[in-house]
Amino acid sequence: DGYQKFNLGVLECFKTWVEYCEIPAETLCRCPVMNWAITSAIQDAYLFEATVDALVAVLRTYAIERREDMAPEKLALAQLLVPALMTQQEAYEVALRDGDDDTCRGLCRLFTEVAESYLHLLVAAAAPPPPGADPAQDLPQRVLAQM
């Protein structure tokens, strides 16, 4: 219907905006379309592929590939994206059980992109906290404390 086509257009515009404009990471953290994509649109079968494409664009554009990339605003975006996307594990298991290959592939794209975009961050976060550090600190603070 028209509403779904409109939403599809919003996701496609969002993807292009992320790919071709220099948007500060903190702006994306506050962007309503980003929040909608990671919470609602990803669960809509009609919007799923466009949502995956948009989120992959965000992950690639704001990847933390080197220690020098660990600016606080990029860490804040990672802290928003990683937990939200990893909550899709259950959706993956359901899709796998139901034989929904398209959903499985889309979610695998996201999981792989998270790992590739934030490998350095994930490895640093998996390290034991430094002596005297609070292990309950949020991810950016732990990573910054280890630098």
pLDDT of residue 139: 54
Q: How far apart, in whole angstroms, are the C-alpha atoms of residue 104 and residue 26? A: 30
pLDDT above 60 for 87: yes
Kindly state the DSSP code that residue 66 receives in the 8-state scheme: S
DSSP alpha helix (H) spans, the chain: 2-20, 25-30, 32-39, 48-61, 72-86, 89-98, 101-117, 119-126, 139-146
**Residue 98 Ramachandran class (φ > 0 left, ψ -120 to 50 alpha, else beta):** alpha
Burial class (CB within 10 angstroms; exposed 0-12, middle 13-18, buried 19+) of 5: exposed
Mean pLDDT of 112-121: 89
Q: How far apart, in whole angstroms, are the C-alpha atoms of residue 105 and residue 8? A: 19
pLDDT of residue 141: 56
**Domain range for residue 51?**
2-146
Q: How confident is the model at residue 25 (pLDDT cuts 50, 70, 90)?
A: very high
pLDDT above 80 for 18: yes
List pLDDT tens digits, range 55-75: 999 999 999 877 777 788 888
Tokens of 115: 């790992």
Mean pLDDT of 101-123: 92
What domain count does the chain have? 1
Question: Which residues have C-beta within 8 Å of that of residue 97, sequence separation ≥ 6?
Answer: none
